[in-house]
């Protein structure tokens, strides 16, 4: 039993289709609590910095252009094994391979416009949360 925090992003395909509430409801159904949330639009340099781990990948430029194409919702989720719990609920990166109960199976448009991002480890969760939030903005 470990309480953790993880970073979640609802991507531009979510804000464009006005799906924030529906996805938040699925997140809350897992038992995780949304302890911080804000809507913002990434600049080119912010998106490149956030996804710098992927900068050598063939899809990097397309990913960055998509992530700056509209507003995103950034969130801190807190609860039991939050990193793994949220990644399970998100589903596979490619929505065609995602299990039916997952957010991506239900809402993602493509491997790129795949609706949500979640930190892939506790260490990265800490780095990614600090990228967007100060401690005063996170309230359990």
Which amino acids are annotated catalytic? 117
Report how far residue 46's alpha carbon sits from residue 52's, in angstroms, rounded to the nearest whole number. Answer: 10
Closest distance between ligand CMP and the C-beta of residue 98, in Å? Answer: 12
Q: Which residues bind ligand CMP (CB under 6 A)?
A: 54, 59, 63, 93, 111-112, 114, 117
Give me the DSSP letters along 53-76. GGTTSTTHHHHHHHHTSS-EEEEE
Strand order in the sheet with 116-118: 33-40, 72-80, 3-10, 116-118
**Which one, 22 or 55, has the nearer CB to ligand CMP?**
55
Return the number of the residue (59 or 101) whose C-beta is nearest ligand CMP: 59
Least spacing, CB of residue 114 vs ligand CMP, in Å: 4
Cα atoms found within 13 Å of the Cα of residue 33, Cβ hemisphere only: 9
Q: Which residue reads 């780095």 in tokens?
A: 127
- Is 50 in contact with 42 (CB distance < 8 Å)? yes
In the complex, the smallest distance separating the C-beta of residue 44 from ligand CMP, rounded to whole angstroms, is: 16
Measured from the CB atom, the residue of 53 and 140 that comes closer to ligand CMP is 53
């Amino acid at each position: 039993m470990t309480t953790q925090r993880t970073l979640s992003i609802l991507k531009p395909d979510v804000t464009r289709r006005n799906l924030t509430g529906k996805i938040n409801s699925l997140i809350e159904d897992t038992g995780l609590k949304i302890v911080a949330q804000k809507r913002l639009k990434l600049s080119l340099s912010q998106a490149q910095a956030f996804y710098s781990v992927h900068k050598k990948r063939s899809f990097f430029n397309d990913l960055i252009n998509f992530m700056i194409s509209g507003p995103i919702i950034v969130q801190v989720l807190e609860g039991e094994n939050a990193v793994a719990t949220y990644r399970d609920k998100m589903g596979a990166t490619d929505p065609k391979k995602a299990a039916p109960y997952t957010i991506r199976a239900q809402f993602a448009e493509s491997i790129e416009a795949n609706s949500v991002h979640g930190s892939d480890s506790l260490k990265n969760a800490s780095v990614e949360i600090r990228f967007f939030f100060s401690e005063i903005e996170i309230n359990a």
